[in-house]
Chains A and B, each alone.
Chain A
C-alpha cells in the first residue's frame, strides 16, 4: 500500500514541537528504513503513520489518495520495540485472536488466519498456539508480535527497532524474516539504529534530524556521502566506511551497498599482503597477543591520556582498548564519539579532594550554607515530610468520614488550590488521573441505575437522582483520596518521604517490627507510580495498534483495562524481583545502622503548617458533621 504524508507536524501535550513539516511518499511494496538519533522525531513519525496519534497539522494519504481516517488507519499495523509491553493474552492463539475479534473477523475463519500468520513468521501453529506468550524467548516473542500484526492483513507494516535487545542469532534470523516479508510484496517501514543490517535491504532511507527530514532517498547515495549520516549524528555502516576508504585508495570503484558486496569486491581485487617490516610503526593492530592468564600485563599505555586531558581522551575510542599502541588510537580523530560524552567520561581526578568536595557541595546545595540534601526550593519542598505525612493521614481520615456533597466540594477546591500553589501542571495531573477517570465514571453511572423508582431514563436504562448523588459522593471521595496522595508524592521525593515515615513508625520497632523494610517498601513503591503509568501507556498504544484505533475515553473501557491487567502485573512482578536484587546488592541490611542523607529538621514554618492542617481538618470535619 502506498502511503503519503503532506506537511505533517506534531506537538507534544506540553507544547514542544516533535516533528515539523514532513512530507513523504512511500511507494507500495517497498522497504523503507527510518533512522535518526533518539529525540529526532522518529518514533513520533511512526506513530502518526500508524494512525496511533493525530498530527497537529498536515495529513496522511493512503493508497487511493484518500485522507486516512480512523478506519483507514487500520490498514496499518505496527509492532513496537519491547515485546513485553505488547503481549496480552494467556496463549499465543488468543493473543493474535484479539486483533481479529476487534476487526470483526468471524470465529470460523480465525484459526486459519492465525495459523497462516504464525507460519509466515516461522512459528508452527501446533507447537506455539497453546503456549503462553509471556514464557517464550525474546526472539519468539518478537515473532508472535509480528504474527499478530500480520493477522490483520495490513497494507503497511511498521516495525520499530525489530532487532533491539535480541541476541545476535535471534537478530540475524529476524532479519531473514524481514527479507521474506519484503519479498512477499508487503510494504514495510522499519525504524532502526542498526544501519549495518537494514540499509542493505532498504529501497529507500529516511534520515530524521531534529524533527525534520534530513535525507530521503536510496541507501547507496546516503552511504556514499560520509557527511550526510554524520550530520544527523549517525555512524555509517561498517561496510560503507571500509568501502569508502578502499575507494579512496583506488582499490574499489564504488562504495559497496552491503558487506557481501564489499567482500565480493575485495575477493576480486585482493589487497597485497603486507611485508611486516614495511608497515609504519604503530599504524595497525597490536602484534602482541595478550595471553589468557593476563600475566603479560595489560595495555594501559593510554590511560594517562585518558585522565589528563579531556580533548585527547576524545580520541580514545572504543577500539582503543584492544590497541596497545597509543599512537594509533590517539592519532585518529574519532567522529563517532560525541565530544560531550568523551569530555564527561574524562574525570578531572587531578583536582585535590577538598576542592572536589566543595564543587560537589556547591552543585548539590545551591545557596545553602549548611551541607544538606538537594532540594527544589519551592515552599512545598522545604516543608518537613512529617508535616506532609500528618496532612495526608489526617486528610484521608476526614475524607473517609464525609458523606455529603458540600464538604467534599470544599475539599476538592482546597486540594485544587494546594496543587496550584505547588505548581503542579494540569497536564501532569491529567496524565496521572486519566486511568482512573473512566472507571470512576462507570462506577458512578452504575450506582445511579435504579429499576424501582427511576427519575429519568436513557434508552433501556433508568436512573434515580438519589442513587446518582450517593454514587457521586462515594466516587468523589475516592478521587479526592487519590488526589491527596498525588499531591503528597508530587511534592516529596523518596528520601524525605522515607525518613518521615520511618520516624513515625519508629515506636513499632520495639514490637519487633522491621520499620526500615516498611519505609523502604513504601517509598520505592510510590516512586514507581510514574513507571507503572508509563508502562500502562505503552501497553495501551500496543493494544490500540491491534484493533480499532480507540480514542479518548474509549481507551479506558473496562474491557481494555481487563486486558491490560495481566501484562502489567507481570511487568510489575518482574520489576519487583529485579529491584529486590538491586537493593540487596547495595549492601542493604535492615538490621544494620544507617546514616540517612536526608535529615529531618523541624522549623517554625513546619509548626505553622501543622497548626494550619489541624485547623483545616477540624473545620472540614465539622462541616462534614453538620451537612
Chain B
C-alpha cells in the first residue's frame, strides 16, 4: 500500500529550510494495521500528510497504492484512496445532518442519486448512526462525530484510513467505540494506519512504528518494543499498567513471549 524509501521532507521557514523528516524507509502492506507514534512535533503529521498527498517529499521515493507520488495528478488521485480521520471531532463535518455529510463525498464522486441514497443508508448503518440520519450535527457526541468522519471515508471507498489521534479528544467510551469501529473495517480488508500516543492503543496493534526527531526509531511488534527495547525508557514513556506488571514478571524470569500486553491478557495469565 505504501512504500517509502529514504523519504525526506524539508519545509521552508523564511530564508532557511528546516528538515522535518529524514531518510525514512517504511512500508505498509495492503490490509495491514500499523500504529504510528511519537511525541508532539516528531514529524508524525508531516509523514501522514505525505502518505495522502497533502505534502510532497523533498527527496527519496514514495509510492502509495502503486502510484508514484511525485506527479501532482497521482497525488490528487491518492487523496481519495487514502483518507484521514482527524483529531478534532468538531472540525470534520461539512453537512448539517449525518445524511448530508455522507452525501457530500458521494456527490463529489458523481454517483447517481438513487445509488447515492442507498449507499448513504448503508454507510450510516455500518458506522452505527442509522438512528441519527436526520439529527442535527451539533447534537452528536464526540464519538458519534468521529463515527461520521469514518463514514465519510467509506463514502469515498478509501483503501486505507489514517486515524490521526482520532481518539485523543474522546472519553474512554468514545475511544473504545472508534477503536472497535476501525478494527471492524480492518477485518473487512481496509488498511489502517493508527496514529496515537496512548500506550493501551499501541499494545493492541500488531505492528508499531515509532518516530522521533524526523527519523524512524523503531518498526516492529509491540512485544519486542515494550519488553526487548530500551526505546520506551529512552523516550520517557510510562508504559501501561499491564506492561509494568509484565516488566516485573520479566525480571522474575518469565520468558518474553508469555508477558502480557493488555490488562485482559494479564488477567488471563493470572
Report A's interface with B, CB cutoff 8 A: 37-38, 137-138, 164-165, 167-169, 172, 193, 196, 233, 235, 237-239, 241-242, 245-246, 249, 251, 259, 262-263, 266-267, 270-271, 273-274, 276, 279, 283-285, 287, 289-295, 298-300, 302-303, 306-307, 316-323, 328, 332, 334, 336-338, 341-342, 344-347, 349, 356-357, 359-361, 363-365, 371-376, 493-495, 520, 523-524, 527, 530-531, 534, 574-575, 578-579, 581-589, 592-599
- Tell me, in angstroms, the Cα distance from A290 to B138 when the chains sit together: 42
Could you tell me the distance in whole angstroms from the C-beta of A291 to the nearest C-beta in chain B? 8
Could you tell me the distance in whole angstroms from the C-beta of A307 to the nearest C-beta in chain B? 7
Cβ-defined contact, A242 with B270, below 8 A: yes
**Which B-chain residue is minimally distant from A259 (CB atoms)?**
B241
Could you tell me the distance in whole angstroms from the C-beta of A178 to the nearest C-beta in chain B? 15
CB-CB under 8 A from B128, the residues of chain A are: 341, 344-345
Cβ-defined contact, B90 with A575, below 8 A: yes
Query: Does B67 reach chain A (CB closer than 8 Å)?
Result: no
Known: A276-B258, A321-B205. A586 touches B108 (CB 8 A): yes
Partner of A290, one of B173, B221, B264, B268: B221
- Tell me, in angstroms, the Cα distance from A495 to B118 when the chains sit together: 17
Query: Does B230 reach chain A (CB closer than 8 Å)?
Result: no
Cβ-defined contact, A289 with B224, below 8 A: yes
- Tell me, in angstroms, the Cα distance from A346 to B188 when the chains sit together: 11
Cβ-defined contact, B94 with A242, below 8 A: no
CB-CB under 8 A from A338, the residues of chain B are: 173
Cβ-defined contact, B203 with A238, below 8 A: no
CB-CB under 8 A from B55, the residues of chain A are: none
Interface of A is mostly: loop
0/1 interface trace, chain B 32-45, chain A, CB 8 Å (1 if under): 11100001100000
- Tell me, in angstroms, the Cα distance from A175 to B2 when the chains sit together: 39
Known: A322-B206, A360-B118, A363-B130. A306 touches B187 (CB 8 A): yes
Query: Does B244 reach chain A (CB closer than 8 Å)?
Result: yes
- Tell me, in angstroms, the Cα distance from A150 to B262 when the chains sit together: 38
Given contacts A307-B187, A373-B99, 8 further A-B contacts (CB under 8 A): A242-B263, A263-B244, A292-B219, A306-B187, A322-B205, A357-B118, A585-B52, A595-B112
CB-CB under 8 A from B152, the residues of chain A are: 586
Partner of B258, one of A237, A267, A274: A274
Count, chain B residues at interface, CB 8 A? 118
Partner of B188, one of A196, A259, A307, A323: A307
Could you tell me the distance in whole angstroms from the C-beta of A601 to the nearest C-beta in chain B? 12
Cβ-defined contact, A319 with B265, below 8 A: yes
Cβ-defined contact, A534 with B138, below 8 A: yes
Cβ-defined contact, A137 with B40, below 8 A: yes
CB-CB under 8 A from B261, the residues of chain A are: 285, 319, 322
Query: Does B120 reach chain A (CB closer than 8 Å)?
Result: yes
Partner of B248, one of A266, A337, A341: A266
- A-B pairs with the 8 shortest C-beta distances? A360-B121, A344-B128, A578-B91, A494-B96, A357-B118, A238-B241, A319-B262, A303-B187
Report B's interface with A, CB cutoff 8 A: 27-29, 31-34, 39-40, 52, 54, 79-80, 83-84, 86, 88, 90-97, 99-100, 103-114, 116-122, 124-126, 128, 130, 133-134, 136-138, 141, 152, 155-156, 168-169, 171-173, 176-177, 179-181, 183-184, 186-188, 197-200, 203-207, 219-224, 236-238, 240-242, 244-245, 248-249, 252-255, 257-270
CB-CB under 8 A from A291, the residues of chain B are: 220-221
Could you tell me the distance in whole angstroms from the C-beta of A295 to the nearest C-beta in chain B? 7
- Tell me, in angstroms, the Cα distance from A266 to B260 when the chains sit together: 15
* CB < 8 Å A-B pair total: 324
**Which B-chain residue is minimally distant from A494 (CB atoms)?**
B96
**Which B-chain residue is minimally distant from A576 (CB atoms)?**
B91
- Tell me, in angstroms, the Cα distance from A328 to B171 when the chains sit together: 27
Cβ-defined contact, A299 with B206, below 8 A: yes
**Which B-chain residue is minimally distant from A322 (CB atoms)?**
B204
A-B contact pairs, 11 of them (CB 8 A): A168-B199, A263-B245, A289-B257, A291-B221, A345-B180, A360-B121, A371-B114, A586-B104, A586-B108, A595-B106, A595-B107
Cβ-defined contact, B29 with A294, below 8 A: yes
Cβ-defined contact, B39 with A167, below 8 A: yes
CB-CB under 8 A from B114, the residues of chain A are: 371
Cβ-defined contact, A357 with B180, below 8 A: no
Cβ-defined contact, A285 with B260, below 8 A: yes
**Which B-chain residue is minimally distant from A594 (CB atoms)?**
B107
Known: A263-B244, A306-B184, A575-B90. A374 touches B134 (CB 8 A): yes
**Which A-chain residue is minimally distant from B199 (CB atoms)?**
A168
- Tell me, in angstroms, the Cα distance from A113 to B81 when the chains sit together: 55
- Tell me, in angstroms, the Cα distance from A52 to B237 when the chains sit together: 38
Cβ-defined contact, A597 with B180, below 8 A: no
Partner of A597, one of B100, B133, B141, B249: B100
**Which B-chain residue is minimally distant from A347 (CB atoms)?**
B126
Known: A322-B261, A360-B121. A495 touches B95 (CB 8 A): yes
Cβ-defined contact, A193 with B171, below 8 A: yes
CB-CB under 8 A from B119, the residues of chain A are: 360
- Tell me, in angstroms, the Cα distance from A271 to B259 when the chains sit together: 12
Please indicate which of the listed interface residues B96, B204, B221, B245 has the most CB atoms of chain A within 10 Å of its own CB: B96
Partner of B236, one of A169, A318, A346: A169
Cβ-defined contact, B268 with A376, below 8 A: no
Cβ-defined contact, B110 with A593, below 8 A: yes
Could you tell me the distance in whole angstroms from the C-beta of A136 to the nearest C-beta in chain B? 12
CB-CB under 8 A from B103, the residues of chain A are: 373, 495, 597-598
Cβ-defined contact, B108 with A371, below 8 A: no
Cβ-defined contact, B116 with A341, below 8 A: no
Cβ-defined contact, A241 with B90, below 8 A: no
Partner of B262, one of A279, A322, A527, A594: A322
Please indicate which of the listed interface residues A239, A262, A319 has the most CB atoms of chain B within 10 Å of its own CB: A319
CB-CB under 8 A from A493, the residues of chain B are: 95-97, 100
CB-CB under 8 A from B258, the residues of chain A are: 274, 276, 279, 284-285
- Tell me, in angstroms, the Cα distance from A595 to B152 when the chains sit together: 16
CB-CB under 8 A from A306, the residues of chain B are: 184, 187
**Which A-chain residue is minimally distant from B130 (CB atoms)?**
A363
CB-CB under 8 A from B172, the residues of chain A are: 193, 235
Known: A578-B86, A586-B105, A594-B108. A242 touches B266 (CB 8 A): yes
Partner of B238, one of A168, A239, A263, A356: A168
Known: A289-B221, A341-B180, A363-B133. A38 touches B141 (CB 8 A): yes
